[in-house]
Amino acid sequence: MPSQSQVLLRHVVYYSVVAIYPFRRFFGSLFFFCFSVMASENEVFTSPEIAKSFDFASEERIYSWWEAQGYFKPSFDRGADPFVIPMPPPNVTGSLHMGHAMFVTLEDIMVRYNRMKGRPTLWIPGTDHAGIATQLVVEKMLASEGIKRAELGREEFTKRVWEWKEKYGGTITNQIRRLGASCDWTREHFTLDEQLSRAVVEAFVRLHEKGLIYQGSYMVNWSPNLQTAVSDLEVEYSEEPGTLFYIKYRVAGGSRDDFLTIATTRPETLFGDTAIAVNPEDERYAKYIGRQAIVPLTFGRHVPIIADRYVDKEFGTGVLKISPGHDHNDYHIARKLGLPILNVMNKDGTLNEVAGLYCGLDRFEARKKVWSDLEEVGLAVKKESHVLRVPRSQRGGEVIEPLVSKQWFVTMEPLAEKALHAVEKGQLTILPERFEKTYNHWLTNIKDWCISRQLWWGHRIPVWYIVGKDCEEEYIVARSAEEALLKAHEKYGKSVEIYQDPDVLDTWFSRFEVVEEEEEAYSRLVPHDGRMCVLRISRNFIRQPSLRLVCFFIFKLIQNCFFWIDMTFCFFWVARMVMMGIEFTGNAPFSYVYLHGLIRDSQGRKMSKTLGNVVDPIDTIKEYGTDALRFTLSLGTAGQDLNLSTERLMSNKALTNKLWNAGKFILQNLPNRSDVSAWEQLLAYKFDTEETLLELPLPECWVVSELHELIDIVTTSYDKFFYGDAGREIYDFFWGDFADWYIEASKTRFYHSWSNSVASVAQGVLLYVFENILILLHPFMPFVTEELWQALPYRRQALIVSQWPRTSLPRDAKSIKRFENLQSMIRAIRNARAEYSVEPAKRISASIVASTDVLDYISSEKQVLALLSRLDLQHVHFVESPPDNAKQSVHLVAGEGLEAYIPLADMVDISAELQRLSKRLSKMQSEYDALVARLNSPSFIEKAPEEVVRGVREKASNAEEKITLTKNRLAFLQSTVSSSV
């Protein structure tokens, strides 16, 4: 945080400059110098001139400085279209994992880019109350104290949860800060905040008024341990070893030989059987269709034998028992055919009175008991091992029970139709396009949404019942208890008593929230009725394990509001957002759905605690830095998974170091900060016109032209959400073109030039290119780029709010081609040196052969050629025809019309090289002969494994190739000796 004196100084300098603007040429440098001094005095930033490498510990200081300066808040005076993202709020119980790191990185890239593009940019953070997860955590905490939730009562338990949330609920938001998320924390929200809770109630009431919310007893996923319904998306299916039980069902009125054998994985549910089904085309059972079967262990209860094409003739025995109270598929068959539905299970997973003698047994104990009794009465045929697809709770890991339960539901079909039309009409675009089919398939086959949960932590369902009345027939939906009581008085009289539904809303329904912003700042965005309404919807899931999701909202109220979702269950939540957005606003809530891959381990496996391959982002940050982690995560391709490896992290940590060293070199070769005249000259350089560009020397013209092309390519990639492409382009330009080529070439301007003007131009180009690299790279790697930006003298403002470079700047194709020819020549000479093992420090002579026009521009940069090729500058000759010693030289072809001749004697001791190669050839020949002998041995070919034989053949082929190359090298050396005699 800056001191009061520093803040005062900043204001004084700023307003002084405004007052003396007409005299800016005189005072401009003074202002820039003061800003730079203030940045260094606040002890936030460290210069490469002082530190050997970028210190990751400074990341938190830089982040605090950004926040203190107000840079995360939108600047409403910019005038461009606003850019808004409500953060998909992570669970308040959560801690950071790589999935969070991915979505935070990508969202922050987008936010920082649009902020630098000049748009008023707002990223709204928040956390989700996470009904089931939070209640579980607090219940476990209470259990450790010997306290049960029921003993406390609802009010006291909820109080304890709030206390836990206040004490421990900020962990993940602090970790998100550590990732560099530039969101406006002054607008942070929690899904149980008062204004958000009002919005949830409003959504429920409106949907109910339209007849889209109803109450009924239907099949749900039931968690016996949690004692609540759970969403399809909170059920994880795992393949586990199990048992298939074969049971005899006797045919009523038949002989002892008239029975149907049924294969089932859950014999304990047979008490809930209401029919036996066979395929109508299965000739084995045609004679039994229409008759009755006797359910075992039920004292003779009969059920009909029916035909249905749903039955798979090939599975088990081809006979299916229909237990509609305990199987989703059976439930739908029963409803289709009008069969009764029997529930044999209590909410705690024990069997109820319908199971007769088995009442009170746990479902798994009952399974064992039922099978034992079936064996005893002769109705057990056999049991065999079978791989089961077991539904388990995402939270507690217990086996989920399909159960008919009275719940609240949202009718989805009319909403789904509108969501389908949004894609058809082009209001919503899914990227990559191939996933549009998944979206359409889910909406076409959508089921009604169960939104009630039997929990105490969450948004209470805004429904009140009348004491003494049937709660399924008589209830009141209201926005508050007071409103409910008034309605009850009007309908039932003043003496009526009411009580609220004890259930809470599904956490995901609770994320359909309206944010009410009363701030004047928003009124400057768009006209409105005094309240700002933004649909806030958080992460929700569908089973799509290879994908993660990002959604971009465009609300008409604020012109451009982007929303981003992560996690692996994408289209389910996208579809709900589209449906609810259209329902509440009349428009699709966003225009793009962008999908990115899962973060997997280095072997391509999904990260899980079971495999022990989970990578902690915070630990990764401590070792490699936030910038390296962010850059690694951002290089994925839309719709494809990304393997996170140590090698990738190390490589991008090396990028951080490379940037730091580049900054160190540039700072060491810039004028002293106190040399105002030199800095005035340096800052006066402009490279954004064709005229100024063409005046530059070849290397400078080349690198500026390449930079201008890079700006266009990267800007387009950012605009199209191709972040991986943008990152790779910046990386290649910085490391390859700028660091490896231009910085090295610029050394001739500083160390081997007698012209101050040439050095000054090089300083200007270095500064211009490097600061643009920092701008382009900032959304990916915000910390090191800001640190380096602040180290550069005369920075007008922080990098985070600096202006994005203009596009369509000039470039000179001729200079690009010419410098590429120079590069080809340098590479050819470097390759020759490596081939002949020339010592790096040794300078060699060369004759460059080309046409007059090529020699003209190549020779003008002979210092660059000599420095980067390690040539002896005094013995580099530029000629139009081969030199006299051509036969004793290594001939290099760098490109069409550009060649070089390097005297062999300059590179090696020919006599010693002849001896070395002869010995090497002899050894290689012996090894090759041994391999050939093995291949010529019939016993080896016949007895050795095929892969071993193939490996020997490959070794022999490689050895033969190396022998040929060595012989050619010897022949060349011998011819050189002969020519020189």
**Residue 892: pLDDT band with limits 50, 70, 90:** very high
- At position 269, the amino acid (one-letter code) is T
For the cut 80, the answer to whether the pLDDT of residue 510 exceeds it is no
Q: Element (H or E) spanning 629, and its range?
A: helix 626-634
**pLDDT at residue 38 greater than cutoff 60:** no
| CA 791/CA 780 separation, integer angstroms | 19
Picking from 621, 619, 620, 511, the residue whose alpha carbon sits closest to that of residue 567 is 511
Looking at this protein, which amino acid is placed at residue 905?
A
Number of H helices, E strands in the chain: 33, 31
- Condensed to tens digits (0 to 9), the pLDDT of residues 935-966 reads 999 888 888 898 899 999 999 999 898 898 88
Q: What is the pLDDT of residue 84?
A: 80
pLDDT in tens, 277-324: 999 999 999 999 999 999 999 999 999 999 999 899 988 899 999 999
Cis amide bond preceding 414, omega within 30? no
470 vs 421, which has greater pLDDT?
421
Backbone angles phi, psi at 760, to 5 degrees: -65, -40
Q: List, in sequence order, every beta strand (DSSP E) within 95-212.
A: 121-124, 126-127, 189-190
Query: Averaged over 382-407, what is the pLDDT?
Result: 92
CA trace torsion 24, 30, 36, 37 (10° rounding): -160
pLDDT confidence tier of residue 79, bands split at 50, 70 and 90: low
**pLDDT of 610:** 65
Cα 654-660-665 angle, rounded to 5 deg: 125
Structure tokens at 348: 């705690």
Statement: residue 253 has pLDDT above 90: yes
3-state secondary structure of 880: coil
CB 550 within 8 A of CB 561: no
Token reading at 757: 């003007």
Span 159-180, average pLDDT: 92
- Return the half-sphere exposure (C-beta side, CA atoms, 13 A cut-off) of residue 807: 12
Residue 242: both structure tokens together: 């199990």
pLDDT above 90 covers what percent of the chain? 61
Nearest to 600 by CA among 10, 91, 102, 11: 102
Q: Give, in order, the Cα–Cα distances in Å from 446 to each of 203, 371, 453.
A: 21, 37, 20
Residue 575 is predicted with a pLDDT of 79
Residues 6+ apart with CB under 8 A from 715: 804, 805, 807
How many Cβ atoms are within 10 Å of 449's Cβ, its own excluded? Answer: 21
* Structure tokens given for 522: 């928003």
Average pLDDT over residues 171-184: 94
Residue 253, both tokens: 């009125």
Averaged pLDDT, 661-677:
94
Strand duo 259-264 + 275-278: pairing: unpaired
Q: Write down the pLDDT at residue 31.
A: 38
Is the pLDDT score of 163 beyond 50? yes
Contact 768, 700 (CB under 8 A): no
> What average pLDDT does range 888-906 have in this prediction?
89
Band (pLDDT 50/70/90 cuts) for residue 970 is confident
Confidence class for position 7, pLDDT limits 50, 70, 90 = very low
In terms of Cα–Cα distance, which of 794, 805, 799, 623 is closest to 182?
A: 799
Among all chains, which residue has been given the structure tokens 């009904």?
131
d(CA 212, CA 216) in angstroms, rounded, equals 13
Does the pLDDT at position 545 exceed 90? no
Task: Select the more confidently predicted residue: 452 or 939.
Answer: 452
> Encoding tokens for residue 278?
């066979």
- Non-local (6+) Cβ contacts of 13 within 8 A are 31, 34, 35
Least trusted range by pLDDT, from 194-198, 259-263, 584-588, 859-863: 584-588
Strands 213-223 and 189-190: unpaired
pLDDT at 85: 80
Cα separation, 334 vs 404, in Å, equals 12
Which burial class, exposed, middle or buried, applies to 605 when counting CB atoms under 10 A from its CB (0-12, 13-18, 19+)?
Answer: exposed
pLDDT averaged over every residue in the chain: 86
599-638 pLDDT, tens digit per residue, is 888 888 888 766 788 889 999 999 999 999 999 999 987 7
Mean pLDDT computed over 643-660 = 94
Specify the DSSP element, H or E, that contains 242: strand 235-250
For residues 739-753, average pLDDT: 92
> Mean pLDDT, to the nearest integer, of 760-771?
96
Q: What average pLDDT score do residues 583-589 get?
A: 82
Percent residues over pLDDT 70 in the chain? 88
Sheet strands side by side (includes 235-250) = 259-264, 235-250, 380-393
User: Would you say residue 15 has pLDDT above 80?
Assistant: no
Mean pLDDT is lowest, of 97-101, 507-511, 919-923, for: 507-511
Q: For residues 608 and 931, which has the higher predicted lDDT (pLDDT)?
A: 931
- Residue-level pLDDT at 860: 95
Please tell me the predicted confidence (pLDDT) of residue 886: 86
Give the torsion sign (CA, 424, 430, 433, 438). negative
Confidence of residue 494 (pLDDT cuts 50, 70, 90): very high
The mean pLDDT of 657-686, rounded to a whole number, is: 94
Helical residues (DSSP H) of 792-909, grouped into ranges: 813-835, 852-860, 862-869, 904-907
- Whether the Cβ atoms of residue 371 and residue 380 lie closer than 8 Å to each other: yes
> Cα 908 from chain centroid?
53
For residue 339, the model assigns a pLDDT of: 95
pLDDT band at 397 (very low <50, low <70, confident <90, very high): confident
Q: Is 274 helix (H, G, I), strand (E, B) or coil?
A: coil
At 512, is the pLDDT very low, low, confident or very high (cuts 50, 70, 90)? low
* Segment 65-69 long-range contacts (CB within 8 Å, at least 24 positions apart): 65/1, 66/182, 66/786, 66/798, 66/800, 67/185, 68/1, 68/2, 69/798
**pLDDT of 810 above 80:** yes
What six digits make up the tokens of 306? 């029916």
Q: Classify residue 736 by its DSSP letter.
A: I
Q: How many CB atoms lie within 10 A of CB 549?
A: 28
CB burial of 494-513 (b: ≥16 within 10 Å; e: otherwise) equals: eebebeebebbbbbbbbbbb
Res 571: pLDDT: 63
Report whether pLDDT(700) > 50: yes
Can you name the residues that pair with 876 across neighbouring β-strands? 846
> 245: which strand partners?
264, 383
pLDDT of residue 980: 57
Residue 674 confidence (pLDDT) above 60? yes
For 834-858, give one letter per residue: b (16+ CB within 10 A) or e: eebebeeeebbbbbbbbeeebbebb
Q: In which residue are the tokens 């830095």 written? A: 625
Q: What is the rounded distance in angstroms from the CA atom of residue 926 to the CA atom of residue 919?
A: 11
Position 751: which residue type?
Y
Cα(460)–Cα(502) distance, integer angstroms = 7
Reported as a single tens digit per residue, the pLDDT across 565-582 is 333 345 677 778 788 888
Model confidence at 490: pLDDT above 50: yes
- pLDDT band at residue 669 using 50, 70 and 90 as cut-offs: very high
pLDDT at 652: 95
Q: According to the model, what pLDDT value does residue 340 have?
A: 95
pLDDT at 25: 38
What are the b/e assignments for 357-379, b being 16+ CB within 10 Å? ebeebebeebbebbbebbeeeeb
Q: Strands 189-190, 228-230: parallel, antiparallel or unpaired by DSSP?
A: unpaired
Alpha-carbon span 199 to 218, nearest angstrom: 27
What is the pLDDT at residue 427? 87
Under DSSP, the state recorded for 128 is: B
